[in-house]
C-alpha cells in the first residue's frame, strides 16, 4: 500500500484504540486524581466489562443489537457496584494508604482474574457487533489524467469501528457535564484540587470515594463492552489496557483529566502510527522506556501541572 | 566574625513575596532570637538558611562559604543543625537510636563513643532513663526535648531551633532555658520563638522579621523598647 | 546449543570443592541419606503424570488435552491396561509457566512417584521442565509440536513420539503452496520463538520449491489489534501465510477479512490461528475458499477412517470437531490427538520393555527409541507415523484443508516423506 | 542473653536447621526447599529496598532476569564456564540496578513504582526482541555439562540443595550484617522519616541508591543461581508477575525482618502447591492472601512474631 493510505489507515486504527483507551484511562485518572489511589486492578474492570458483555448477549440472544445495548447498560453498572463494594470493604479500611492500596489492588487483580477463569473459562469468546459493514475508503492521486480518486487495496474500515469512536466522544461529553454541572462533579473537582481544603469546606470527601471508584471502574467496563465486538472477551485481556492506561495517565499528568484525554489520543494514535515506521516490538521497547524517562525527568507529566 | 550571614535573600511563592532582600548577620557564639508575627516569613527564611527551601535570589554564607547552591544535607554536614517546628522524630525508633543517628553521621565516633555520647545527650534533656523506649511513645513535650537533644547531639556550629518551646509546660520551658544557657559559648544558636519570656531569658540579640523584611534588630531591652516592634508584634501578642 | 558429554564427577572431588566453599556444608555431603528412590509396587497402577495447561495462555488447549488424555487412559484400562496394570493419570496444572512446570515435574517424580510424565504443549514449559525431568531420570513425553526435542536442545529423557514438530509441519506445506497457491508469499507470524520457527523453516522450504517470501510481518507479543500491520502486505502477494496463537487469534483473522474485503490473495493459514475457534463465528465468512494446515482434520472427512471415527466418539467430539455436549465448544483437534497417540506409544513401549517400575525407566526409553513404523490404527488415528529414535521425534503426514461453506474439506495430504529432515542430534549416544 | 547474641543464635540455628533438613526431608520437599532457598535470596534482596528502605519497586524481575540471562547468555554464546557465567550474571545485575536506581530514584512513591514497572517491562520486551540470542519466550536450557561449578555438578539433587543453602546462608548473614550496619540503620531512618534523616545531614539519594544496587545485585545473584541450579533460562522470569512475587513473599513473611523472606517464600510456595491440587485457579490464593495481609496483618508473619514475642528480632 502507498504511504499515504497506509498512514491514514494506521491513524484510523489508532483512533479506535485511542477511543477505548481514553475511557479506560480517564477512569484510572479520575480514581487517582480524586482518591489518590493507584488502582492496579483497573485493567480487570475493563476485562470484566467485556466478559459480562458476552454473558449478557449470549443469554439474551435475538438480534445482536438487543443484547449489545443491554450489555452497554448492565456491564458497567455491575462492575461499578463491584468496585464500590471493593472500595468500602477494602480500600476504605486501608485509609487509602498508598503502599497498602497498591498491594491490595494487586491482590484484587488476581482475585477478579482467577474468579473469572473459574466462572467463565479460559476461552476467548466473541460478541457479535450490533452492526458491522466494511467501508472501502477512497484515496486521491494526480495521475497523467489529472486528479483522480482511487480505491487502494485493503484501504477501509468498518461502521462499528467508527461507531466506537463516536460512542467514546459521547461518553466523554457526558462525563464532562457530570464533572461540570453535578454536585458530585463539584465535590470531585474540589477534592482533586485540594483534598484538605475540600474537607475543610465540609464536603463529604470520604463519602464520594466509593462513588468515584465505582465510576472509574464503570468507565473501564464500558470500554471493555465497546471493544469486545472487535476483540474477544478473555480473562487475561486486562493487562495491556492497564499498562497503556498507566502510560496515558502519567503522560497526561497524574490526576489531570484534560491531560489524560489528550495523552490517550496521542498515545492511541502513535501506537498505530509508530507501527508504520518501526519494527513493532522495538517500538514497544522504545515507548515504554520513553514513558519511564518522562516520569523520571518530568514527574508532572507532559501536559500536567501537579507534581506527585 | 560572622558564622552565618545572608545578602539580599529573597523568596517569593507565585506573586507573594514571603522573604525579600534580607541582609542578616549572625556572629559566632551568639544566641540570636528571630521573632515576628505569624506569616512574617520566619520559617521560609530559616528554610532557606538550612536549604529546605531554595532561594529565589540572594546568597547565604555559612562559615565563610557561600552555601546558597548547596543541598540541605551538605549544609548540615558543614555544621548546621535544624530542629523542626512540628516535632519530627523517628517515632518507631528508640530514643537511643534517634540520637545515635544524629551522632553517627559525623562518622568520627566509634560505636562505643556514640553510645556514651547518646546517653550523655539524653541526660542533658533529662530523658536518659527512657533511652530504650520508642520515640512515638513520648509525651509531646518530651518529644520536643528529644528533638532538641537530637539537634545538640550533632555538636553543630549553628543550631537552628524552630519554635522549640511550642507545647511545652512551664516546667519544661524552664529546663529548656537552662539547656540553652548551658550551651552558650560553644554553640551559635538561632532561635525562632513566639514565647517572649523564652526569648528574653535566652537571647543575646534579637532580629524582628515583618512582612518578609527585617523590621528591627537589637538587644532584648532595645527591642522591648522599640515602638515599631510593639506596633507590629508585641501589640498583637 | 550443541550437547557435550558430561565430565564424570566423583563424590570425593565434589566434597573437596564443597569443603573449599564451606566447611559446614562439606560435612553434610559425606553423610548418608543421599540417593532417594522409591520403587512402585508392581501390582500398583502405572502412574502417568499429566502436566496440563489448566490456567494461563495455554488453558484452552489444556482442557482438550485433558479430555483426550482421560479418554485414552480409559480405553487403555478397558482393554487390560499396561502389562496387566491399570493406568492412573495424575494431572497437575502448570499454569503454562516454565517455573511451575519444572516444579510439577518434580512433584510427579518424587511426590506422586509417577512412572513417566507427559502431555505438555507450550514450548517454554517443555524447555523449562525438561532439564528437571532429565535430572530426576523421569521419562518425559511431550506433545508440543515444538522443534526443541529434535533440535537437540533437550535430553535423553525427553521424547515427542505423538506429534510431528513444527519444522516438519511447515516444510511439508511448501510444495503445495508453491504448486497450487502461488510463488510470492507474505508471512504474518507472532514475533517470538514459535513465530520465528515458522519464518525460518518456511522461508527456506518455499525457496526449494521455486517460491519466495517477499515480506515478513512480525506481530509483537501481547498485541490486540492487527489491521495497522496489514498494509505492509505487498500488492503483488500471491499467497498470504498466517499463523497466530493466543487469545487474540479470532480478532486477527477477522481484521484480516475486513482489511481485504472483496479482493484478497490466496490465503494459507496454520489452524493455530483458529484452533478452538468456531468457523461459524461472526466475521469469518471471508475465509471461504482459503486453506489451512491441520494436524488432524477438524471436520470428519468423506473418507474418514474408522480409527478417526472411533477417536472422536471416545473423546466426545462430533463430526464438526466440536464437543458432543456443546457444539460451540470447539476442540483443538489438530493437536490433541497427540496425547492419545503418545499414551499408546507409552503403552507399547512399556510392554516392549517389560516395564515393571521406575527401575526400568531406561529400558522404557530404549524401547521407544527402537520404534520406527507406527501404522494408522486405533492407537494412531491421525495417520501413519515414522519415529526417529535418534532425535526422539515422530514424523507423520500433514493435512491441508480448504474452507468450503464454513467446513474444512481435505485438499491435500502431505506424505511423511515431505516432513523428513536430516538429524540434528543423536540422543542415544547420551548416557542415562 | 543480649539481643545481639540472641539474634546470632537464632539465625545460626535457622541455617543449621536447614542443613539438618537436608538429611531428613523426602525427595520432593528436599527439592522444593532448595528452590525456596534460592527464591528467598531473591526475596531478601527485594526486602532490602521494600522492607528496610520503604521503597516500593515493581520492577525487580528485571534484576532477577539480568542475573539469569547474564549467566545464561554468556554460557550459550560466549562459552563461559559456570563460574565466569555466574559472575557475569551478578555483574550485569549490578550494572543494571545501578542505572535503573540512578534514574528511578529521582522519583518517589507512585511514580517510583510505575517507573520501575516500566523499566522491567522494557527489559522483558528487549529479551523477546533479541529472540535470535535469547530464544525469546521459549528460553533455553543450560546443559548439565555447563552447570559444573568448581567441579560441583549443580544438577545433582544434594549438591543443589547444599549450594542453595550456602547462597541462602551467605545472603542471610550479609543482610543481617547490613541492616545492623550504620548504612542499614540510616536506610531504616529514611523509611521512618525521610525529611528528618535528610536534616540530620544524610545524603538520602546516595543511601537509597546504595540500597537499590545491593538489592538488585542480590536479586541478580538469585537469578543467576536459579538458571544454573535448575537449568533453564526463560523470558517469563522477566514478566511483571515475577516482580510481584517477591513483594508477596516479603509482605507475607514480614517486611523489614531478616527471616521474613524465607518464611514468606516457603509459606506461599506450599500454599500454591497445595491449593493447585484443589483448584485450577490457584493464583486466587495469592490474591486473597495479598488483600488479607493489607487488611489484617500488615506486619506479616515474622512482623507479628516480633511484635508479640521477640521484640529484638532484626
Sorted by where each starts, the structural domains of chain A and their CATH numbers stand as 3-134+155-297 (1.10.3470)
- Average confidence (pLDDT) over C131-144: 93
The terminus-to-terminus CA distance of chain A in angstroms comes to: 45
Q: Give the model confidence (pLDDT) of D209-265 as tens digits.
A: 999 999 999 999 999 999 999 999 999 999 988 998 999 899 889 888 889 999 999
User: What distance in Å separates the CA atoms of residue B122 and residue B152, rounded to the nearest whole number?
Assistant: 10
DSSP C82: B
Provide the shortest C-alpha distance from residue D251 to chain B (in Å): 19
For chain C, give the percent of residues with pLDDT over 90: 63
Q: Which residue of D has its CA nearest to B155?
A: D200
Buried b (16+ CB within 10 A) or exposed e, C378-416: ebbbbbebbbbbebbbbbbbbbbbbbeeebbebebebeb
Q: Which residue of A has its CA nearest to C227?
A: A13
C106 and C149 belong to one structural domain: yes
C57 and C177 belong to one structural domain: no
Give me the residue label for grid cell 558429554.
C5
**Residue D177 within any structural domain of the chain:** yes
Domain containing residue D120: 19-240
CATH number at residue C255: 3.40.50.2300
Interchain contact C/B (3 or more Cβ pairs less than 8 Å): no
- Which residues have CB under 8 Å from B35's CB, separation 6+? B42, B192, B193, B194, B196, B199, B206, B207, B208, B209, B223, B233
Q: Which residue of B has its CA nearest to D189?
A: B90
- Average confidence (pLDDT) over C309-329: 91
Number of B to D CB contacts under 8 A, please give it: 53
- Please tell me if residue D165 touches chain C, with a CB cutoff of 8 Å: yes
Give me the residue label for grid cell 479470532.
C250
Asked which of A141-150, B5-14, C362-371 is least confident by mean pLDDT, the reply is A141-150
User: What distance in Å separates the CA atoms of residue C108 and residue C138, rounded to the nearest whole number?
Assistant: 9
**Residue D284 within any structural domain of the chain:** no
**What average pLDDT is seen over chain C?**
86
- Average confidence (pLDDT) over C201-228: 88
- Average confidence (pLDDT) over D146-166: 91
Q: Which of C17, C195, C425 is most worth mutating to test chain D (most D CB atoms within 10 A of its CB)?
A: C17
Q: Give the model confidence (pLDDT) of A61-105 as tens digits.
A: 778 888 899 999 999 999 999 999 999 999 988 888 887 888 899
- Return the SS3 of A189: helix
Chains that touch D (3 or more CB pairs under 8 A): A, B, C
Interchain contact A/B (3 or more Cβ pairs less than 8 Å): no
Domain containing residue C283: 167-294+400-413
- Please return the burial class of B220, using the count of CB atoms within 10 Å of its CB with bins 0-12, 13-18 and 19+: middle
- Which residues have CB under 8 Å from B219's CB, separation 6+? B204, B205, B206
C280 and C408 belong to one structural domain: yes
**What average pLDDT is seen over chain D?**
91
Q: Compute the half-sphere exposure of residue D187: CA atoms within 13 Å on the CB side of its CA.
A: 27
Instruction: Centre a 10 Å sphere on the Cβ of residue A139 and count the other Cβ atoms it contains.
Output: 16
Of C101 and C228, which is predicted with more confidence? C101
Contact A86, A108 (CB under 8 A): yes
Is the pTM higher than 0.95? The answer reads: no
Contact D127, D235 (CB under 8 A): yes
**Residue D160 within any structural domain of the chain:** yes
The DSSP-derived string for A241-289 is HHHHHHHHHHHT-TT-HHHHHHHHHHHHHHHHHHHHHS-HHHHHHHHHH
C185 and C71 belong to one structural domain: no
- Please tell me if residue A93 touches chain D, with a CB cutoff of 8 Å: yes
C58 and C200 belong to one structural domain: no
Of A84 and A118, which is predicted with more confidence? A84
Q: How many domains does chain C have?
A: 2
- A289 contacts on D by Cβ (under 8 Å): 118-119, 122
Kind and range of the H or E run holding C98: helix C98-106
Query: What counts of helices (H) and strands (E) characterise chain A?
Result: 11, 4
User: What distance in Å separates the CA atoms of residue D83 and residue D147, rounded to the nearest whole number?
Assistant: 9
* Alpha helix segments (H runs only) across B105-235: 111-124, 140-153, 170-183, 196-202, 220-225, 227-229
- Please tell me if residue D36 touches chain C, with a CB cutoff of 8 Å: no
Q: Give the model confidence (pLDDT) of D70-106 as tens digits.
A: 999 999 999 999 999 999 999 999 999 999 999 999 9
What pLDDT score does C328 carry?
A: 84
Beta partners for residue C240, in sequence order? C186, C267
Tell me the CA distances in angstroms from A10 to A62, A272, C228, C260, one per residue in order: 34, 5, 5, 15
Beta-strand runs (E) in chain A: 134-136, 139-143, 146-150, 156-158
- Please tell me if residue C23 touches chain D, with a CB cutoff of 8 Å: no
- Average confidence (pLDDT) over C353-362: 91
C117 and C186 belong to one structural domain: no
Number of A to C CB contacts under 8 A, please give it: 97
Contact B80, B158 (CB under 8 A): yes
- Which residues have CB under 8 Å from A130's CB, separation 6+? A63, A64, A65, A68, A69, A160, A229
- Average confidence (pLDDT) over D168-190: 92
What pLDDT score does B234 carry?
A: 54
For chain A, give the percent of residues with pLDDT over 70: 93
A→C contacts (Cβ < 8 Å), by residue, are 1, 5-6, 9-10, 13-14, 16-17, 64, 114, 117, 121-124, 126, 128-129, 132, 134, 136, 153-154, 156-158, 230-232, 234, 236-237, 239-240, 272, 275-276, 279-281, 283-284
Residue contact C36–D230, C-beta within 8 A: no
The terminus-to-terminus CA distance of chain C in angstroms comes to: 20
C269 and C406 belong to one structural domain: yes
Strands C239-242 and C266-270, by their bridges, are parallel
Give me the residue label for grid cell 522494557.
D122
User: What distance in Å separates the CA atoms of residue D117 and residue B31, rounded to the nearest whole number?
Assistant: 51
C267 and C198 belong to one structural domain: yes
What pLDDT score does A145 carry?
A: 67
Q: Which of C188, C247, C278, C280 is most worth mutating to test chain A (most A CB atoms within 10 A of its CB)?
A: C247
What pLDDT score does A308 carry?
A: 35
Which of A127-131, B141-145, C181-185 has the highest average model confidence (pLDDT)?
C181-185
Give me the residue label for grid cell 468507565.
A219
Q: Is the pLDDT score of C28 beyond 70? A: no
- C93 contacts on D by Cβ (under 8 Å): 276, 280, 282
**Residue D88 within any structural domain of the chain:** yes
- Average confidence (pLDDT) over C259-285: 84
Q: Is the pLDDT score of B209 beyond 50? A: yes
Chains that touch A (3 or more CB pairs under 8 A): C, D
**Residue C77 within any structural domain of the chain:** yes
Asked which of A158-172, B44-58, D27-41, D284-298 is least confident by mean pLDDT, the reply is D284-298
Reference D55, options D104, D109, D115; nearest CA is D109
Q: Which of A54, A154, A161, A241 is most worth mutating to test chain C (most C CB atoms within 10 A of its CB)?
A: A154
- Please return the burial class of A197, using the count of CB atoms within 10 Å of its CB with bins 0-12, 13-18 and 19+: exposed
Q: Is the pLDDT score of C104 beyond 60? A: yes
C83 and C183 belong to one structural domain: no
Reference C175, options C211, C210, C213, C209; nearest CA is C209
Reference C260, options C282, C281, C239; nearest CA is C239
The DSSP-derived string for A71-93 is HHHHHHHHHHHHHHHHIIIIIGG
Q: Give the model confidence (pLDDT) of C36-82 as tens digits.
A: 334 444 578 999 999 999 888 888 888 899 999 999 999 999 999 99
- Which ipTM score applies to this complex? 0.84
Reference D293, options A108, A83, A37; nearest CA is A108
Provide the shortest C-alpha distance from residue A178 to chain C (in Å): 32
User: What distance in Å separates the CA atoms of residue B138 and residue A32, rounded to the nearest whole number?
Assistant: 36
Buried b (16+ CB within 10 A) or exposed e, D88-124: bbbbbbbbbbeebbebbbebbbbbbbbbbbbbbbbbb
**Residue D173 within any structural domain of the chain:** yes
What pLDDT score does C42 carry?
A: 55
C286 and C405 belong to one structural domain: yes
Q: Which of A98, A239, A292 sits opposite D115 (nearest CB)?
A: A292
Q: Which of D232, D241, D244 is most worth mutating to test chain C (most C CB atoms within 10 A of its CB)?
A: D232
Give me the residue label for grid cell 548540615.
B76
Q: Is the pLDDT score of C23 beyond 50? A: no
User: What distance in Å separates the CA atoms of residue A230 and residue A236, rounded to the nearest whole number?
Assistant: 16
Q: Is the pLDDT score of C216 beyond 60? A: yes
- Please return the burial class of C303, using the count of CB atoms within 10 Å of its CB with bins 0-12, 13-18 and 19+: exposed
Q: Is the pLDDT score of B101 beyond 70? A: yes
Tell me the CA distances in angstroms from B26 to B183, B191, D263, D286, one per residue in order: 16, 11, 57, 60
**Residue D294 within any structural domain of the chain:** no
**Residue C204 within any structural domain of the chain:** yes
User: What distance in Å separates the CA atoms of residue C35 and residue D11, rounded to the nearest whole number?
Assistant: 29
User: What distance in Å separates the CA atoms of residue A54 and residue A68, rounded to the nearest whole number?
Assistant: 9
Q: How many domains does chain D have?
A: 1
Instruction: Centre a 10 Å sphere on the Cβ of residue B236 and count the other Cβ atoms it contains.
Output: 9
- D240 contacts on A by Cβ (under 8 Å): 239
Chains that touch B (3 or more CB pairs under 8 A): D
Reference C253, options C221, C230, C220; nearest CA is C230
What pLDDT score does C37 carry?
A: 38
C97 and C181 belong to one structural domain: no
Residue C26 in grid coordinates = 562439606
- Please tell me if residue C7 touches chain D, with a CB cutoff of 8 Å: yes
Q: Give the model confidence (pLDDT) of C239-270 as tens digits.
A: 999 998 877 888 888 888 888 877 888 999 99
- C14 contacts on D by Cβ (under 8 Å): 151-153, 156, 159
- Average confidence (pLDDT) over C270-298: 87
**Residue D246 within any structural domain of the chain:** no
Tell me the CA distances in angstroms from A193 to A188, A206, A256, C355, one per residue in order: 9, 15, 10, 75
Contact C330, C277 (CB under 8 A): yes
- D303 contacts on B by Cβ (under 8 Å): none
- Please tell me if residue C222 touches chain D, with a CB cutoff of 8 Å: no
Residue contact C124–D142, C-beta within 8 A: no
C155 and C216 belong to one structural domain: no
Tell me the CA distances in angstroms from D132 to A152, C152, C165, C197, D236, one per residue in order: 36, 17, 20, 11, 17
- Please return the burial class of A201, using the count of CB atoms within 10 Å of its CB with bins 0-12, 13-18 and 19+: exposed
Amino acid at each position: 500500500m502507498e504511504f499515504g493510505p497506509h498512514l491514514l489507515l494506521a491513524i484510523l486504527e489508532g483512533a479506535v484504540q485511542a477511543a477505548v483507551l481514553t475511557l479506560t484511562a480517564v477512569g484510572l485518572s479520575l480514581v487517582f486524581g480524586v482518591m489518590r489511589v493507584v488502582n492496579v486492578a483497573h485493567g480487570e474492570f475493563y476485562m470484566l466489562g467485556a466478559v459480562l458483555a458476552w454473558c449478557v448477549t449470549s443469554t439474551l440472544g435475538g438480534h445482536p443489537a438487543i443484547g449489545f445495548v443491554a450489555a452497554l447498560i448492565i456491564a458497567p453498572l455491575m462492575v461499578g457496584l463491584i468496585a464500590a463494594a471493593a472500595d468500602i470493604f477494602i480500600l476504605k479500611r486501608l485509609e487509602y494508604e498508598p503502599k497498602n492500596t497498591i498491594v491490595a489492588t494487586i491482590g484484587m487483580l488476581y482475585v477478579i482474574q482467577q474468579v473469572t477463569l473459574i466462572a467463565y473459562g479460559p476461552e476467548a469468546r466473541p460478541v457479535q457487533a450490533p452492526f458491522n459493514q466494511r467501508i472501502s475508503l477512497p484515496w486521491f492521486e494526480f495521475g497523467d489524467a489529472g486528479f483522480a480518486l482511487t480505491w487502494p487495496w485493503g484501504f477501509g474500515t468498518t461502521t462499528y469501528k467508527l461507531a466506537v469512536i463516536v460512542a467514546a466522544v459521547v461518553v466523554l461529553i457526558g462525563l464532562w457535564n457530570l464533572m461540570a454541572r453535578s454536585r458530585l462533579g463539584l465535590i470531585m473537582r474540589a477534592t482533586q484540587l485540594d483534598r484538605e481544603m475540600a474537607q475543610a469546606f465540609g464536603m463529604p470527601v470520604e463519602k464520594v470515594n466509593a462513588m468515584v471508584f465505582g465510576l472509574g471502574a464503570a468507565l473501564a467496563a464500558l470500554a471493555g463492552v465497546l471493544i469486545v465486538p472487535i476483540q474477544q472477551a478473555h480473562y487475561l485481556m486486562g493487562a495491556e489496557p492497564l499498562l497503556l492506561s498507566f502510560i496515558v495517565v502519567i503522560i497526561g499528568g497524574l490526576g489531570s483529566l484534560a491531560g489524560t484525554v489528550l495523552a490517550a489520543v496521542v498515545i492511541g494514535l502513535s501506537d498505530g502510527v509508530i507501527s508504520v515506521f518501526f519494527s513493532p516490538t522495538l517500538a514497544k521497547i522504545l515507548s515504554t522506556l520513553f514513558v519511564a524517562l518522562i516520569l523520571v525527568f518530568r514527574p508532572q507529566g507532559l501536559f500536567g501541572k501537579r507534581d506527585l | 566574625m560572622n558564622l552565618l550571614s545572608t545578602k539580599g535573600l529573597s523568596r517569593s511563592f507565585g506573586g507573594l513575596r514571603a522573604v525579600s532582600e534580607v541582609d542578616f548577620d549572625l556572629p559566632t557564639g551568639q544566641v540570636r532570637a528571630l521573632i515576628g508575627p505569624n506569616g512574617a516569613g520566619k520559617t521560609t527564611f530559616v528554610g532557606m538558611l538550612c536549604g529546605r527551601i531554595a532561594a529565589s535570589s540572594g546568597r547565604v554564607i555559612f562559615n565563610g562559604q557561600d552555601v546558597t547552591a548547596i543541598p540541605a544535607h551538605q549544609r548540615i554536614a558543614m555544621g548546621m543543625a535544624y530542629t523542626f517546628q512540628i516535632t519530627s522524630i523517628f517515632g518507631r525508633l528508640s530514643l537511643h537510636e534517634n540520637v545515635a543517628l544524629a551522632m553517627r553521621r559525623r562518622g568520627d565516633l566509634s560505636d562505643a563513643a556514640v553510645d556514651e555520647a547518646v546517653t550523655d545527650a539524653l541526660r542533658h534533656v533529662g530523658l536518659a532513663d527512657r533511652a530504650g523506649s520508642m520515640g512515638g511513645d513520648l509525651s509531646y513535650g518530651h518529644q520536643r526535648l528529644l528533638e532538641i537533644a537530637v539537634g545538640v547531639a550533632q555538636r553543630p556550629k549553628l543550631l537552628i531551633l524552630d519554635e522549640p518551646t511550642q507545647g511545652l509546660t512551664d516546667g519544661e520551658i524552664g529546663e529548656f532555658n537552662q539547656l540553652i544557657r548551658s550551651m552558650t559559648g560553644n554553640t551559635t544558636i538561632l532561635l525562632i520563638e513566639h514565647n517572649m519570656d523564652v526569648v528574653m531569658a535566652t537571647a543575646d540579640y534579637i532580629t524582628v522579621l515583618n512582612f518578609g523584611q527585617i523590621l528591627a534588630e537589637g538587644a532584648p531591652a532595645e527591642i522591648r523598647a522599640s515602638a515599631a516592634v510593639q506596633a507590629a508584634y508585641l501589640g498583637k501578642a | 546449543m550443541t550437547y557435550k558429554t558430561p565430565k564424570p564427577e566423583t563424590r570425593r572431588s565434589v566434597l573437596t570443592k564443597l569443603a573449599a566453599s564451606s566447611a559446614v556444608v562439606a560435612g553434610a555431603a559425606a553423610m548418608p541419606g543421599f540417593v532417594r528412590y522409591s520403587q512402585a509396587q508392581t501390582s500398583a497402577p502405572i502412574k502417568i503424570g499429566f502436566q496440563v495447561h489448566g490456567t494461563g495462555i495455554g488453558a484452552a488447549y489444556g482442557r482438550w488435552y485433558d479430555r483426550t488424555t482421560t479418554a485414552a487412559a480409559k480405553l487403555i484400562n478397558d482393554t487390560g491396561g499396561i502389562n496387566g496394570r491399570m493406568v492412573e493419570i495424575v494431572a497437575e496444572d502448570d499454569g503454562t509457566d516454565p517455573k511451575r512446570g519444572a516444579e510439577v515435574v518434580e512433584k510427579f517424580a518424587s511426590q506422586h512417584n509417577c512412572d513417566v510424565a507427559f502431555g505438555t504443549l507450550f514450548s517454554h514449559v517443555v524447555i523449562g521442565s525438561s532439564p528437571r525431568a532429565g535430572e530426576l531420570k523421569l521419562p518425559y513425553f511431550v506433545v508440543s509440536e515444538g522443534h526443541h526435542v529434535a533440535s537437540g536442545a533437550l535430553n535423553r529423557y525427553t521424547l515427542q513420539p505423538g506429534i510431528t514438530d513444527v519444522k516438519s509441519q511447515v516444510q511439508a506445506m511448501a510444495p503445495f503452496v508453491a504448486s497450487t497457491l502461488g510463488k510470492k508469499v507474505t508471512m504474518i507470524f507472532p514475533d517470538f520463538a514459535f513465530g520465528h520457527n515458522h519464518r525460518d523453516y518456511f522461508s527456506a522450504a518455499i525457496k526449494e520449491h521455486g517460491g519466495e517470501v517477499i515480506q515478513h510481518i512480525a506481530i509483537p507479543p501481547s498485541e490486540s489489534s492487527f489491521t495497522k500491520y496489514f498494509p505492509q502486505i505487498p500488492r503483488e502477494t500471491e499467497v498470504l501465510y498466517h499463523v497466530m496463537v493466543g487469545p487474540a487469534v479470532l480478532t486477527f483473522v477477522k481484521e484480516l477479512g475486513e482489511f481485504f474485503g472483496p479482493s484478497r490473495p490466496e490465503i494459507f493459514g496454520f489452524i493455530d490461528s483458529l484452533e478452538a475457534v468456531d468457523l461459524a463465528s461472526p466475521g469469518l465468512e471471508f475465509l471461504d475458499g482459503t486453506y489451512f494446515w491441520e494436524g488432524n482434520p477438524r471436520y470428519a472427512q468423506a473418507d474418514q477412517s474408522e480409527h478417526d471415527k472411533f477417536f472422536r466418539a471416545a473423546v466426545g467430539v462430533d463430526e464438526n470437531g466440536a464437543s458432543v455436549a456443546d457444539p460451540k465448544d470447539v476442540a483443538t483437534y489438530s493437536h490433541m490427538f497427540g496425547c492419545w497417540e503418545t499414551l499408546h506409544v507409552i503403552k507399547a513401549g512399556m510392554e516392549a520393555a517389560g516395564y515393571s517400575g521406575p527401575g526400568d525407566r531406561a529400558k522404557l526409553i530404549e524401547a521407544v527409541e527402537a520404534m520406527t513404523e507406527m501404522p494408522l490404527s486405533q492407537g494412531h488415528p491421525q495417520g501413519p507415523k515414522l519415529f526417529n529414535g535418534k532425535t526422539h521425534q515422530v514424523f507423520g503426514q500433514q493435512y491441508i484443508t480448504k474452507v468450503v461453506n464454513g467446513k474444512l474439506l481435505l485438499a491435500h495430504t502431505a506424505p511423511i516423506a515431505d516432513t523428513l529432515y536430516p538429524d540434528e542430534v543423536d540422543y542415544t549416544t547420551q548416557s542415562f | 542473653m543480649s539481643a545481639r547474641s540472641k539474634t546470632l543464635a537464632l539465625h545460626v540455628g535457622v541455617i543449621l536447621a536447614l542443613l539438618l533438613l537436608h538429611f531428613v526431608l523426602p525427595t520432593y520437599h528436599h527439592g522444593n526447599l532448595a528452590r525456596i532457598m534460592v527464591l528467598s535470596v531473591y526475596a531478601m534482596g527485594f526486602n532490602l529496598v521494600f522492607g528496610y528502605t520503604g521503597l516500593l519497586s515493581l520492577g525487580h524481575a528485571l534484576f532477577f532476569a539480568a542475573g539469569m540471562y547474564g549467566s545464561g547468555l554468556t554460557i550459550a554464546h560466549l562459552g563461559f564456564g559456570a563460574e565466569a557465567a555466574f559472575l557475569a550474571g551478578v555483574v550485569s545485575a549490578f550494572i543494571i540496578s545501578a542505572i535503573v536506581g540512578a534514574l528511578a530514584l529521582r522519583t518517589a512513591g507512585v511514580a517510583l513504582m510505575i517507573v520501575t514497572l516500566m523499566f522491567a517491562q522494557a527489559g522483558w520486551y528487549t529479551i523477546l526482541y533479541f529472540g535470535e540470542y535469547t530464544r525469546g519466550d521459549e528460553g533455553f536450557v543450560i546443559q548439565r555439562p555447563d552447570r559444573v561449578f568448581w567441579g560441583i555438578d549443580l544438577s545433582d539433587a544434594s549438591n543443589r540443595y547444599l549450594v542453595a543453602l550456602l547462597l541462602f546462608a551467605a545472603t542471610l548473614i550479609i543482610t543481617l550484617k547490613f541492616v545492623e550496619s550504620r548504612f542499614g540503620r540510616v536506610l531504616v531512618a529514611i523509611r521512618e522519616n525521610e525529611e528528618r534523616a535528610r536534616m540530620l545531614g544524610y545524603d538520602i539519594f546516595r543511601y537509597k541508591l546504595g540500597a537499590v544496587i545491593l538489592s538488585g545485585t542480590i536479586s541478580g545473584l538469585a537469578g543467576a543461581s536459579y538458571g544454573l541450579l535448575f537449568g533453564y533460562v526463560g523470558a517469563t522470569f522477566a514478566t511483571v508477575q515475577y516482580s510481584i512475587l517477591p513483594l508477596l513473599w516479603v509482605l507475607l513473611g514480614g517486611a523489614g525482618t531478616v527471616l521474613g523472606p524465607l518464611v514468606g517464600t516457603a509459606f506461599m510456595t506450599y500454599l500454591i502447591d497445595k491449593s493447585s491440587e484443589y483448584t485450577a485457579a490457584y493464583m486466587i490464593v495469592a490474591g486473597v492472601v495479598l488483600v488479607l495481609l493489607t487488611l489484617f496483618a500488615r506486619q506479616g508473619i515474622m512482623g507479628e512474631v516480633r511484635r508479640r514475642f521477640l521484640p529484638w528480632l532484626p
